[in-house]
Structure formats: structure tokens, C-alpha cells
Structure 1
Amino acid sequence: MKGLYCRAVSDADPKFVIQETTLPDVLSSHQVRVQVKACGLSPLDFKVPTVRGLWLSSEGRNEGCILPLDSPCSGLCEVIDMDEHYLVQKPEKLSSACVAGALRDGLCAYTALHTHARMAAGHTLLVMDGASSFGLMCIQLACYHGVKVLTTSHSPQKHAFLEQLRPSVARVIPVYNDSSDLLSAVMEETGGLGVDVVVDSGVRLHDGEEEEGDPEEKKLLAHKHDIISVLGVGGHWVTSHQNLQLDPPDCRLLHLKSACVSFLNPEVWTASSSQQGRYLHILKDIVEKISAGVLRPQPEEAVPLYEATVAMETVQRHPKKKAVVQL
């Protein structure tokens, strides 16, 4: 059978290949052999053993999972062996390709808003780049729980899309012309108090200095000082920026507000067996809310297996892009 694998010549130029692989003749205890129907691709972090999102089907049942960090198998494989305790039931009416593209974003949204920020009804949330697949999941999940949502738009097209979500979204703040309006808009909407939670889509650490990634895309990211400034007293900033650097003035401002920062790493759920029950509960709740229409992921056009290497290379170069492979 065939599977997608990475030959990491260097972090900057990984090589993705489709190659033949075999499975052992005998399954280990508590393992099941399942056929992969669709797989959602996400960028590799070579500093950490990486897991891939996928959806599986076995013996007439539909099941889903995210591979644990120590999995010896490729997630994008025709057949895979894995522990039965990492599987959750997929509602019959949902297509495998649809949910494969939404599972990781749903997990990130739950981790950011429930696990880190402890959101509750009446809180005010600012979602940066709400038109992204992750941002949209955060908005929908927060609105379901009675949270007041503000969001930013990164282009006129994204702004028009987000305006369609009103009145569920209280305000859409355009930042593609000038991000200096962010603080004044947030303070106007919150009566000068600031927001309870900020979930970013990346952060600009310095003005006028080159940073990794697309320069045009970096210009649209909020500066770290702007994010700290819009936080209210006791606020919570959830960031996906792996190399966040806070200077003493930033820390002083966070201290004065008694605010805190959390790092969003969705892979951490499978790093500790003590979290397995909560992790599976989250995955089950995600698929149930997608089935009920509470969470409505942006559809992704699935590509066949022979295009998987090109799709993976694109995702690796542009982490915000998504791809789903249909088998």
C-alpha cells in the first residue's frame, strides 16, 4: 500500500514522497486496523514529532482521530494501525473529507477558548483574522456560548464575508489599510474596558524589521503591543506565535492588568496520557457540533492521493493554507 512520507534533508527544504509501506501481520493489544478515507494536511514542525489529522473507516463504522506524537505510521496511508482509544465516532451524515479539513481547526478553537481562556457567557472575545478557517471556528464556538465577538479582516473580500455573520459578530475591524484603528475600535466597542480574550493568528514582534514569512502577510498581523493594549483587566491572550518575545515594558503592562499569555499548541493533547479523556471528549464534541450545524467549517476541495506531495509542499510553505486528500 502507498503512503505519504517526508525526507527531511533540511528544515527549509523538506522532500515529500509517496512510497510503498507494509503493516505487521499481527496487531498489538488494543490496536485496530482501519482504512483511511480522507486526510487533512497540516505543516510539519521538525522540532517536534508531528501528527497529522485524518478520518478513518473500519468494519462499516465511521471513526476519526488525530495521530499521537509517537505514532510510527504516516497519517496519509491507505490502511493504518492505531490504538482503539484514540478513535471517536463520526456521524454518518458528515463526509470524511469535510470533517478531515475541520478537525484540527476545531481542536485548536476548543483548546484556545475552553482550555486556555476559560471563556464564559458575557465575556468579550477578539479574534484576529476571523475569515481564516481557524478564526471562523473560534467565532462560531464563542457565539454558541454567548460570548460577544469582535474580529479583524485582512482584505475587502474577507471583510464582506465577515459582515455577513453579523449580528452574531458584534463588529468587524478592517486592518488591511491601517492597523492603528484596532485599539480605538476595540475600546469604543467595550466602553474603554478592553476585551477578556484575544486569540491571534500570528504576531508582529518588531516594527520596520524583517521577520520570517511573507512580508505582505506580516504587515497585516497585529503588533504585540497592540494586542496587550486591547486586553482588559484579568484578560487572556492566546497566541500561536512559537517564538514570542516580550520586552520588560510589555511584561509590565501585562502585570498592571493582571493579564496572562498562553501558547496554543494543539499537538500537546497526545503528549500526556492523563489528558486522554478530555482530549477524546473534545474530539467527540467537535464532530457532534459540526453535525448539528453549530460549527460550519469552510469547505475544502479534496485532492487525490497522487497530488498529495504537491499539496503538502504548498501547506508547508504557506501554513495558513489547507488541503484535504481523498483516498
Structure 2
Amino acid sequence: MKAIEMRETGGPAVLQLVDRPRPEIGGPDDILVRLKAAGVNPVDTKIRSNGTLVPNGLPAVLGCDGAGVVEAAGEAVTRFKPGDEVWFCWGGIGGPVGNYAEYILLDNHLAQAKPREIGFVEAAAAPLVLLTAWEALHDRARLVEGQRVLIHAGAGGVGHVAIQLAKAAGARVCTTVSSPEKADFAHALGAEYCINYKEEDLVESVMAWSEGQGVDIALDTVGPEVFRKTVPAMAHYGDLVTILDPGPDLDLKEARVRNLRISLELMLTPMLRDLPRARTHQGEILRRCAKLIDRGDLRIHVSETFPLAQVQEAHKRLETGHVTGKLALTMD
């Protein structure tokens, strides 16, 4: 099979198209999936640049999420049969198991039935960002109907689904964007108010929108500077969630006075720490998101696709920092 292999860290050029043996069913619970598409995520570029997330992880096949068709199944598998369409988030953090390839072998319990109303490209681009946004909003911040929610980078991969998940839960949503075009995109997804962070002051804008109260929940998808700037835009007793390392030089005095609950979100933890119960929970999240997708309450925006062999171009595009929605690789 064709796969993209990384043998050393560095720029996009370290990603090389190679021939690898096609995986074979090795256990009774295995399924072999012929991949149709794979998501391209910022974590992929970070692993490529900085190294794998597991020891001795090179050579590695990147790509944490994918979608495809079950090609073969182990003797104990009852959930799927050959020909079934699946999506999942598994692999891609080091070693030979990843979704930048034509096939992947995984335990059938890690996969879920693909939403019926979207294609393989959208399904492949969705799991990592959906799990991140859902866990951040529902599991970390305990989102409830009627709350005011700030989503940073609302036109991005995590941001564009977070807007929709918050809206579906009955929240009022504001978001930050970098252009009028991205504001239009975010409004179409359900954002009530958009803040152009290049031209407007974050705290003043949030306070004007929230009638001086601040937001009940904020989701930082950008990094330490944005995390710090968000603290004074929070309502007292609010929830501030970040999907990145907020950095070592944090002054949390104002956060403490506001009695903020600060949470860290990394949806890769069940894979990194081998946590079966957490993986089961993530499977339930994907099933719930599939229902939202199939009834038209959640959409996945893929702005550009690349053939597997053009993965270097996909990484270059992602690293510009200006992608709307998601990017994906296609295998056909």
C-alpha cells in the first residue's frame, strides 16, 4: 500500500511517499479499513516538526483521524462487516499506525458508523475537532442552555464546529475572526456576534455584547497570549478552557479574583495513556455528533483537499495559519 512516512523531524519535506506492506487481520477484534480520506490537523505539523508523542516513534505514519470502508473483519467482530463505512480518531502520534495511508488496521471498538449525510472527506476531517470541541464545552466547561460562550478562531477547524455545538446546546455564541469573510462564515454557522481581533479590542467587544457581564464560557484554541487576554472578558465564576499549553508565565491573580474554573483539554489523552473508558466515551461523542450531522444541525467545512502524494503541500497550507475549516487528504 502507499503511505506517507516520516523518518526524521523537520519541515514538510520529511514526509515521503513510500510502499508499505498492507496490514492483515491479526486478532479477532480487528478491522481492516481501506481509507478514503484522512484529516490534516495542526498536531500533525507539530509532531512532524518536534517529534512523536510516543517513545521511539520513528519511522511514523501521521494522521489521527480518517474515514473509509471496512475491507475485512476478525472473527469476533459483530459491529461491522466488509463494505460498512466508518470514521474514527486513532493513530498518527508515532509508529506505523496512522491515517496518511491507503489502509489502517484497528480494533473495531475504536470505529463508529460514518454519518450517512456526508461524504468520506468531511467524515475524515471531523473526529479530532469534534471530540476536542465537545469535550471542551460539555465535559470541561459543563455547558448549559442560555449561557454566553466565546469561541476563539471561530473559522478554524475546532472553532467552526465548536460554534455549532454550542448553538445546538442552546448557548449564545460570539467568536473571534480575522476578516469580514470569516465573520460571514461564522455567522452562517450560528455565531451571534463576531469580533475582528485585528481591529477591535477583545474585552471591550465582549463586554458590550454581554451587557457588561462577560462570557460564562470561553474556549481558547490559539495559545498563551489569547488565553491571558481572555481572563478579563470572563464572567465571574466562569469556565475558561484551552486546548493548548497556556505557558509557564501566567499571572492568575485576576482569574482567581473572578473565581474562574480553568480547564485543559487534550482529546488525545485516551490514546496516549491507554484509557479504555475514555475511548468508550469518545465513541459515544462521535455517535451523538453523527446524529446532529444527519439531521442537518452540524456541518463540517473542508476548504481544500489534497491527494495523498501531495501531503507536503497540505502541511504548507495548514502552516500559513489562514485555513478556513479543515483540510483533508484523499486516497483515490
Q: TM-score range by the shorter chain?
A: 0.7 to 0.9
CA distance in 1 between partners of 2:23 and 2:154 (Å)? 44
Q: Percent identity?
A: 23
Q: Which runs of 5+ in 2 are unaligned?
A: 55-61, 71-81
Match of 2:259 in 1: 258
TM-score (norm 1): 0.83
Determine the structure 2 residue equivalent to 1:323: 327
Report what 2:41 is aligned to: 42
Q: Distance in 1 between matches of 2:246 and 2:144?
A: 29
CA distance in structure 1 between the aligned counterparts of 2:12 and 2:104, rounded to whole angstroms: 27
| Greater than 3 Å deviation, 4+ residue runs | 10-14, 23-26, 68-72, 160-165, 312-315, 317-322
**Root mean square deviation of aligned Cα:** 2.4
The 1:251/1:27 distance shift into structure 2, 3 A limit, reads: same
Task: Within 5 Å, give how 1:14-163 maps onto structure 2.
Answer: 15-23=14-22, 27-43=26-42, 44=44, 45=47, 46=51, 48-49=53-54, 52-58=64-70, 59-68=82-91, 72-163=96-187
8 A Cα contact 2:115 2:293, kept in partner: no
How far apart are the structure 1 equivalents of 2:322 and 2:129?
11
Report how many residues are paired.
Answer: 302
| Aligned partner of 1:200 among 220, 227, 242 | 220
Letter in 1 for 2:198: Y
Per-residue CA deviations over 1:10-67 (Å, capped at 9, x if unaligned) read 3567600111111455522311222111111224332514651100211111011111
Separation of aligned partners in 2, 1:146 and 1:54: 30
Unaligned runs of 5+ in 1: 206-221
User: What is the CA-CA distance between 1:204 and the residue it aligns to?
Assistant: 5.0
Distance 1:163 1:195 in 2: 18
Q: 1:319 to 1:116 in 2, by over 3 A?
A: farther
Q: Assess, with a 3 A threshold, how the Cα gap between structure 1 residues 19 and 32 changes in structure 2: closer, same or farther.
A: same
Assess if the C-alpha contact under 8 Å between 1:88 and 1:283 holds in 2.
yes
Following superposition, the deviation at residue 318 of structure 1 comes to 4.1
State the 1:203 CA deviation.
Answer: 3.2
Corresponding residue for residue 282 of structure 1: 285
TM-score (norm 2): 0.82
- Amino acid paired to 2:284: H
The 8 Å contact of residues 302 and 327 in structure 2, kept in 1 or not, is answered as: no
